[in-house]
Amino acid sequence: MPNSHTTFQRWMRCLIVLFILLMTYIVIADRYVPLTSESRVQGYVVQIAPQVSGTITQVDIKNNQPVSKGELLFRIDNQKYRLAVDEAQVALEQAHQQEQGLYAQANVAKANIATSQANYNNAHRDFIRINQLAKKQLVSASMRDNAYAKNETALANLAAAKQQAVVINTQLGPKLGQSTIVLAAENALAQAKLNLAHTDVIAPSNGVITNLQVDIGTMANANQPMLTFIPTDSMWVTADFREKSIANFHDHSKAYVAYDALPGQVFPLTVNNRDYGVAAAQQMANGHLTHIDTSNRWVRDAQRVRVNFTSQQPLPPQLFVGSRATVVVYPQHDPIWQLLAKIEIRIASALHFIY
């Protein structure tokens, strides 16, 4: 019995010492090699919307199909948009014809200016002569008034002819093909061609189409999302750490990640940045008094901060947006902490075989 009691005490002392050492390591490691299982794969989710409306006549993709940049996703009935292009081309031809007419009117306006200038010069000379004769009382005042009226009428006609030329030249523009009517018609044609091109909805980059819910006959409305697109080149990893754990993060911090989908495998990551706020602290200007959060707990929950990580290599194809992971961060130039971080993440990765 004494031997059994002594053995029990020895084991209890060992367990207590081991527990103290383990707790000490956890406290210290949480500062230098923090580990969290609150990690996910993130990615941009792009809502693809057509820029024109119409009935979908062709769908070239399947659900969860990888696509390349510029690949056709679906096509909208383009018949009315082709007609719009033809109509705009006809309108452009008419605009060129109207421009030719304006050039002809400009030539007529120049001739009218020359005629009006000659008439004014003649009327002005007549008025000067008759006015001099009237001062000598050699002609009647009535004749002088008629000459003055003809002079003013000729001057007004000359001014009107010049203004008419200005109006026509303003519409013509600096050179042939630059008139306002031609430019407006060219713009309408370009818009019609652009609308026709938009009937083919293409992939904006390399990625995957997911949650496909369109088929031939579906009515597509302009600027209304129709497809969910995930760019495969934009995926990254986020991890939520306790705020005291990120105090030692710096430019030389590195990380290891173990994905739930790939148990037993460990991948390197690089610390990119961290968020500078959390939703719980966001305040809105609502005109109300300050709301004070109260808690009766002796120990409050630790605030977590999101840290973003990037990978030098493309993420494994088995992953998707929302995949769970475990991340550990370590100082790059400290081989001891790096070794301990690798041991921790290896253990976590092995446990993913179980859960």
Angle subtended at Cα 133 by Cα 128 and Cα 138, rounded to the nearest 5 degrees: 160
Torsion of CA 20, 25, 31, 36, to 10 degrees: -100
Q: How many domains does the chain have?
A: 3
| Between 129 and 56, the higher pLDDT residue | 56
Q: Is residue 3 part of a domain?
A: no
Say whether both 261 and 332 belong to one domain: yes
Listed in sequence order, the residues at least 6 apart from 177 whose beta carbon sits closer than 8 Å to its beta carbon are 96, 99
Say whether both 39 and 90 belong to one domain: no
Say whether both 174 and 117 belong to one domain: yes
Quick one: 220 exposed, middle or buried, by C-beta within 10 A (0-12, 13-18, 19+)?
buried
Q: Is residue 280 part of a domain?
A: yes
Expressed as residue numbers, the domain containing 211 is 50-77+199-224
CATH number, domain containing residue 59: 2.40.50.100
Q: Is residue 19 part of a domain?
A: no
Query: Which token pair is 236?
Result: 């990254």
Say whether both 203 and 168 belong to one domain: no
Say whether both 73 and 117 belong to one domain: no
Q: Using one digit for the tens of pLDDT, what is the confidence trace for 286-305?
A: 788 777 777 777 777 778 88
Say whether both 136 and 220 belong to one domain: no
| Between 252 and 67, the higher pLDDT residue | 67
Say whether both 281 and 242 belong to one domain: yes
Residue 305 in contact with residue 240, Cβ under 8 Å?
A: yes
Contacts 24+ apart (CB under 8 A), 282-287: none
Query: Which token pair is 309?
Result: 């990580």
Cross-strand partners of 72: 202
The confidence band for 2, taking pLDDT boundaries of 50, 70 and 90, is: low
Say whether both 190 and 203 belong to one domain: no
Q: What are phi and psi of 128, to 5 degrees?
A: -65, -45
Q: Is residue 293 part of a domain?
A: no
* Among the listed residues 331, 323, 330, 332, the one whose alpha carbon sits nearest the alpha carbon of residue 352: 323
Q: Is residue 97 part of a domain?
A: yes
Give dist(CA 165, CA 109) in Å, integer.
5
Say whether both 245 and 176 belong to one domain: no
CATH number, domain containing residue 325: 2.40.30.170
pLDDT beyond 70 at 148? yes
Give dist(CA 101, CA 171) in Å, integer.
11
Say whether both 269 and 339 belong to one domain: yes
Q: Is residue 297 part of a domain?
A: no
pLDDT of residue 88: 94
Q: What is the DSSP string of 196-230?
A: HHTTEEE-SSSEEEES----TTPEE-TTS--EEEE
pLDDT of residue 96: 85
Q: Is residue 183 part of a domain?
A: yes
Say whether both 319 and 178 belong to one domain: no
pLDDT beyond 70 at 167? yes
Q: Which of 178, 196, 214 is the last residue of a domain?
A: 196
pLDDT of residue 3: 66
Q: Using one digit for the tens of pLDDT, what is the confidence trace for 192-239?
A: 999 999 999 999 999 999 888 889 999 999 999 999 999 988 889 999
Give dist(CA 116, CA 162) in Å, integer.
9
Residue 218 in contact with residue 76, Cβ under 8 Å?
A: no
pLDDT beyond 50 at 272? yes
Say whether both 61 and 122 belong to one domain: no
Q: Is residue 294 part of a domain?
A: no
